[in-house]
Amino acid sequence: MQGVISSRRGAALYLMVWLFLGAALGGVTVAVEDAAWPNALIFAIPVTLVYAASAGFSAYYLCRAYPLAERGAANVLLALGAAAIVSTLLWSVVVRGWNEACRLLDAPWAGIEFTPQMAILISGLGVLLYGLLAAINYLVTEFERARGAEHRELQSRLMAQDAELRMLRTQIDPHFLFNSLNSISALTSQNPKGAREMTLQLAGFFRQSLSMEAHKKVALEQEMALIRHFLAIEKVRFGERLSLLEEMEDGAGFCLVPPMIIQPLVENAVKHGIAQLPEGGWIKVAARRAGTLLHISVDNAVDEDTPSGAAKDGNGIGLENVRQRLACAYGHEAGIHWARTGAVFSVAITMPAETKEG
């Protein structure tokens, strides 16, 4: 019963049902005993509410003591049958006592003639209502158990998803660090000052990326600040050969994205695009919000003479990592596509447009 009336809405509904049953018993009393409506209702409604409370609690605790999954059907039926009989006998005593108390008032609106037919009706109704209460409690118990199992399964999925996201994010830093250390190693003999500056920039980059690590999602403008910091590192090596173009439409910068979701794409653009061009090239990052969707694109110049498959293979690790992270974070609501057209390699990301306010 506690499961049924655990909320105000459930308790109100439970009371309304039993008031209706009390009124129905009053109507039957009018038909069986030829009693007046006031007498029948004063007789029927109070005793029905008493049975609602006593039998309801009895059925609730009995169903908890005899769960269907752990007790045999014979044991459950025997226990329920015995409890129904005892509850009905006690209710019959209460019904007779209440009727006698009403008749002692010697008022025309109080009390009825309690005949054997009425006694049989009360007994049969008591057993039937107890069985219905037991069935409702078993249904509520099974529903709560199924909902609890579903909740635990959802929690397990979320924990597994979080673990996978953390694993995928940890792949980013070592991959980027490996490439950066190679660049520093190359600069050490040719440009020691540049290598020292790049080392300091690298330390600052990781300091900033660690501050974002504690958040599952960050604003796109924070992600772009990290991109600018990353390209400042690369500019030590490339100088004027590397340029960044930004096209951020109003409102897009406030949208939330997984941390370092664009950085691998920009890193790929540098390593497999700009680095392969003697004269250098450009990287363009654009973002726009279209209703409930956020569209992000990363385009970069590539060597037009390089076979298209080579660019795709070289970008495979970063692109696959981003694809998996989007799938973990958004499921089928997000996607990533890439293609090469002439001397331009393009990556397009679509994801739900979420904001801190939303």
Same domain, 124 and 241: no
How confident is the model at residue 358, as a pLDDT?
43
Instruction: Give pLDDT tens digits for 190-201.
Output: 778 878 888 887
Question: Which amino acid appears at position 142 of this protein?
Answer: E
DSSP structural state of residue 99? H
Residue 35, classed as helix, strand or coil, is coil
Separation of alpha carbons 251 and 44, rounded Å: 66
Same domain, 114 and 13: yes
How confident is the model at residue 182, as a pLDDT?
79
- Give whole-number Cα distances, 148 to 67, 81, 134, 135, in Å: 16, 29, 21, 20
Separation of alpha carbons 205 and 228, rounded Å: 10
Cα distance from N-terminal residue to C-terminal residue, the chain = 39
Q: Is 203 domain-assigned?
A: yes
Q: What's the gap between Cα 264 and its chain centre?
A: 29
Q: Is 236 domain-assigned?
A: yes
How confident is the model at residue 310, as a pLDDT?
43
Q: Is 93 domain-assigned?
A: yes
Separation of alpha carbons 323 and 164, rounded Å: 13
Q: Is 49 domain-assigned?
A: yes
Bridging pattern class, strands 293-301 and 344-352: antiparallel
Structure tokens at 68: 């269907």
The domain boundary, picked from 95, 130, 152, lies at: 152
Same domain, 148 and 209: no
Separation of alpha carbons 283 and 242, rounded Å: 8
How confident is the model at residue 281, as a pLDDT?
92
Same domain, 128 and 227: no
Same domain, 23 and 145: yes
* Strand blocks (E) in the chain: 218-219, 242-248, 256-257, 281-290, 293-301, 335-341, 344-352
If the chain, 358 residues long, is cut into consecutive pieces of 10 residues, what is the mean pLDDT of each piece? Answer: 66 86 89 86 91 87 82 84 91 90 84 86 91 87 83 73 58 63 80 81 75 77 88 82 91 89 88 88 94 94 72 61 84 91 93 78
The domain boundary, picked from 152, 180, 203, lies at: 152
How confident is the model at residue 312, as a pLDDT?
47
Q: Is 47 domain-assigned?
A: yes
Domain of residue 291 covers 191-352
Give residues with Cβ within 8 angstroms of 79, minimum separation 6.
62, 65, 66
Structure tokens at 54: 């006593």
List residues bridging with 281 in a β-sheet.
242
Same domain, 147 and 259: no
Number of structural domains (the chain) is 2
Q: Is 141 domain-assigned?
A: yes
Q: Is 182 domain-assigned?
A: no
Instruction: Give pLDDT tens digits for 41-52.
Output: 988 999 999 988
Q: Is 174 domain-assigned?
A: no
How confident is the model at residue 144, as a pLDDT?
81
Separation of alpha carbons 26 and 55, rounded Å: 19
Kindly report the CATH number assigned to the domain that includes residue 213: 3.30.565.10
The domain boundary, picked from 152, 183, 205, lies at: 152
List residues bridging with 337 in a β-sheet.
348
Same domain, 347 and 202: yes
List residues bridging with 243 in a β-sheet.
282
